[in-house]
Amino acid sequence: MSKTKKILALAAAGVFALSLASCASDSGSTGGGEAAAGGDCNVGVSMPTRSLERWINDGEQLKSLLEEAGCTVDLQYADNKTDQQISQIQNQVAGGSNILVVAAVDGQVLAPVLAEAKKQDATVIAYDRLINGTPDVDYYATFDNYKVGQLQGEFIETQLDLANATGPISIEPFAGSPDDNNAKFFFSGAWDVLLPYVESGVLVVPSGQSPASNDDWASIGIQGWASDKAQSEMDNRLSSFYTGGDKVDVVLSPNDSLAIGIEASLKSAGYAPGADYPLITGQDADKANVKAILDGEQSMTVWKDTRTLGKQVFDMIQEIVAGDEVTVNDTKTYDNGEKVVPSFLLDPEVVVKDDVQTKLIDSGFIKAADVGL
Ligand code: BGC
């Protein structure tokens, strides 16, 4: 941990211990701040998978912030398996977690386990992905998911000057996992920018995988956000629809794990960075993708500084433990079918080749050596 980060974390921990101490005295407990933290701040953190760098960072960062503040933390990863996530959450509740932080594998199926958690008065924070169909989710912290897609769409629009182009420019759109509530927001944000150009013929989709409206996004969704599935889908599109020297000009990829698969497919079809290489979008600033950006194999990524999200959730937990009102900045957007979940939305930002040093490396998000610099 850098010196500055450590100081920030310690400062945050100090404030947290103070609020816990005041909470303990409010409730008549005789414990000190640290001891009270162990009792009152028992957090179960449930992350979807270790197979993607971002979730490892998310989990570890939140765990260390909370532990430095004296909380007990049980961090679990569900290998992208719904049943595993449900039983991990059940164990956390049985083990006394009074706060649950859940990044759902499948946002549709957690209602029963959260109902159990509520019987034990647990407070539930949906982390990054909304949990649907349940009144038992209290807060949601995420990056502005619609904006992620919008940044990808606008990037394509600006780079190709679509407003003044006549086309036809070929594009292949992809969407994220159909069970992830975020995926439809990412797609909608991008498609609201791009669909008018498809309708006017400036953009064409040779594979025909072109949702007529945002609601049809799942028809092009890649289950589990899997790189290998994105790769074989791109293989199919290229071999069936790009024959006789036709080239794809743009690939709308909602995130980095799909982009990696798409880039592998392009490579095996003979595409190489340079004038004829398509624009490809991404999201997350995973190291392999940042390296691809530096090598000209990916055009951009939408960076979500997961440290900020972890800190936001840490702040929410502080407020919950202290009995304070929890700070949110959106009470309209995220309707989960049972309620509009009070949310805190953070700002994502575009990273291109020229930003890698200033935004990602100088801020300590990744190390220069990890991307070959
Ligand atoms: C997250 C993305 C991530 C994707 C795959 C989404 O819910 O918001 O950051 O790339 O899941 O794990």
Which residues does a 6 A CB cutoff place in the pocket of ligand 1? 52, 54, 128-129, 180, 182, 225, 255, 257, 283-284
Give the DSSP letter of residue 359: I
Mean pLDDT of 24-46: 52
What pLDDT shows up at residue 275?
86
Q: In the predicted model, is pLDDT for residue 243 greater than 80? A: yes
Alpha-carbon span 33 to 214, nearest angstrom: 50
**How many angstroms is it from 203 CA to the middle of ligand 1?**
27
**Contact indicator for 259, 253 with CB cutoff of 8 Å:** yes
pLDDT digits (tens, 9 = 90+) for 283-303: 999 999 999 999 999 999 999
Mean pLDDT taken over the chain: 90
Return the structure tokens found at 282.
């991404």
Give the DSSP letter of residue 121: T
What pLDDT shows up at residue 13?
46
**How many angstroms is it from 165 CA to the middle of ligand 1?**
32
Alpha-carbon span 18 to 314, nearest angstrom: 15
pLDDT digits (tens, 9 = 90+) for 176-196: 999 999 999 999 999 999 999
Beta pairing class for 250-252 and 279-280:
parallel
Q: In the predicted model, is pLDDT for residue 197 greater than 80? A: yes
Q: Which atom of ligand 1 is nearest to the CA of 256?
A: 10
Mean pLDDT of 18-31: 34
**How many angstroms is it from 155 CA to the middle of ligand 1?**
19
**How many angstroms is it from 26 CA to the middle of ligand 1?**
40
Q: In the predicted model, is pLDDT for residue 6 greater than 60? A: no
Q: In the predicted model, is pLDDT for residue 214 greater than 70? A: yes
Q: In the predicted model, is pLDDT for residue 39 greater than 80? A: no
**How many angstroms is it from 223 CA to the middle of ligand 1?**
12
**How many angstroms is it from 181 CA to the middle of ligand 1?**
10
Phi, psi of 76 (to 5 degrees): -125, 150
What pLDDT shows up at residue 373?
87
Alpha-carbon span 165 to 369, nearest angstrom: 40
What pLDDT shows up at residue 362?
97
Residue identifier of the C-alpha nearest atom 6 of ligand 1: 182
Three-class SS string for 282-326? CECCCHHHHHHHHCCCCCCEEECCHHHHHHHHHHHHHHHHHCCCC
**How many angstroms is it from 225 CA to the middle of ligand 1?**
8
Pocket test for ligand 1, best of 147, 284, 306, 351 (most atoms within 8 A of CB): 284
Alpha-carbon span 68 to 89, nearest angstrom: 23
Q: In the predicted model, is pLDDT for residue 29 greater than 60? A: no
Give the DSSP letter of residue 70: T
Contacts of 157 (CB under 8 A, 6+ apart): 163, 193, 194, 197
Model confidence band, residue 167 (pLDDT cutoffs 50, 70, 90) = confident
Phi, psi of 141 (to 5 degrees): -125, 130
Q: Which atom of ligand 1 is nearest to the CA of 255?
A: 10
**What is the residue whose two structure tokens read 């990696």?**
260
Q: Which atom of ligand 1 is nearest to the CA of 284?
A: 9
What pLDDT shows up at residue 321?
94
Q: In the predicted model, is pLDDT for residue 220 greater than 80? A: yes
